[in-house]
Amino acid sequence: MKLESLKEGFGSLWDNVAEGWRHLTQSAAGALTRFRPGEDSGLPAKGEVDDDFYLPGRGWSMLGGDVFEDEQHLVVRLELPGMEKQDINIEVLDDALVVSGEKRFQRESSEGRWRVMQCAYGSFRRAVPLPAAVKAGEARAAYRNGVLRVELPKAEPARPSAVTIPVE
Amino acid sequence: MSESNVASKAEAAHSEAALLPPVDVFEDASGITLYADLPGVPRDKLILQVESDTLTIEGEVNLDTPAGMEASHAEVSLPRYRRVFTLSKELDSEKVSAELKNGVLRLRIPKAEHAQPRRIEVRVE
């Protein structure tokens, strides 16, 4: 069997890749995240995969993150496709939100071969720098459409006390 | 090609710029299963199109910037995914089934019946 079944329009592929990378290098150098597959990640062995770029021991993926803020809150949005809620760990460490977890690989029930393997699986850890101090105990998180959204109330800002200095 | 011609073409490409989602493709005797990472794309913003032998996956990310908030750090500046595949004749593009879960699209494209391995039962009377 050859990979004749699924060919990609090459011209459009190149355009999209070039355009995509240009944007990513401008905005998302920190989004490139390493995935380390473990024993229980269930990834196929090299012999079951025809993709020449596939290496069972490593994977990289772009986990795009956005941080929004207003006076009282910070909202962090992180792209985490294909996770289960219970496999996501969220921690606040000093001035960073650290999201880690395990993205599991779903095995197919039928006999076949993996022609293309580009998605990353395994354990990962991504730190998103927070621009302000937060009350970690009051954070709320939701996972929807493969996007994690964490809302963190800002710590009480130390209000600068106004001191009037008389001119003598 | 004149220079202005090139420029307008580049501009058109920019407005249509989209990220290429990573995919996994599994092939077995009865068809192909394709997985694509499309985080942030809701069901109603996902467009799957099959035109003769071309399969287009297109999705728009629902960025939902919270009202009154300011982006202090943004990595997702391109809220669109697009990837185009050419399907071979042995695939039955009319029977594509799709499922979107946790930001991952799963497409099943069965092989046309004539392309599937056939089992012929022989009965001995």
* Dihedral of the alpha carbons of A22, A28, A30, A35, in degrees to the nearest 10: -80
What residues have CB less than 8 Å from A91, skipping those under 6 apart? Answer: A97, A98, A99, A100
User: Do the chains contact at A12 and B84, CB–CB below 8 Å?
Assistant: yes
DSSP letter string over B13-30? HHHT--B---EEEEEETT
CATH classification (class only), B19-63+74-115 = mainly beta
Which tens digit of pLDDT belongs to each residue from B9-54? 444 444 468 888 989 999 988 899 999 999 999 999 999 998 888 8
Q: What angle do CA A11, A24, A55 make, to 5 degrees?
A: 75
**CB of B14 less than 8 A from some CB of A:** yes
Residue A1 pLDDT > 50: no
Can you read off the two tokens belonging to residue B49? 């199109």
Distances (CA, A) of B44 to B48, B63, B83: 11, 14, 18
- pLDDT number for residue B10: 42
Verdict on whether the full-model pTM lies above 0.80: no
Any CB–CB contact under 8 A between A140 and chain B? Answer: no
Query: Please, what is the average pLDDT of chain A?
Result: 79
Which has the higher per-residue pLDDT, A99 or B70? A99
Tokens of A5: 């079944």
Which ipTM score applies to this complex? 0.72
Among A107-121, A139-153, B73-87, B102-116, the range of highest mean pLDDT: A139-153
Chain B touched by A120 (CB under 8 Å): yes
pLDDT tens-digit map of A31-87: 777 888 777 777 787 778 888 777 766 777 778 888 888 888 899 999 999 999 999
pLDDT for A11 equals 47
Q: How far, in Å, are A5, A34, B22, B118 from residue A116 at the CA level?
A: 12, 19, 9, 26
Domains of chain A, with CATH numbers? 31-153 (2.60.40.790)
Q: Kindly state whether A108 is in contact with chain B, defined as any CB-CB distance less than 8 angstroms.
A: yes
Of residues A24 and A168, which shows the higher confidence score? A168
CA distance B74 to A63: 12
Query: B68: nearest CA in chain A?
Result: A70
pLDDT at B112: 85
For residue B37, the model assigns a pLDDT of 92
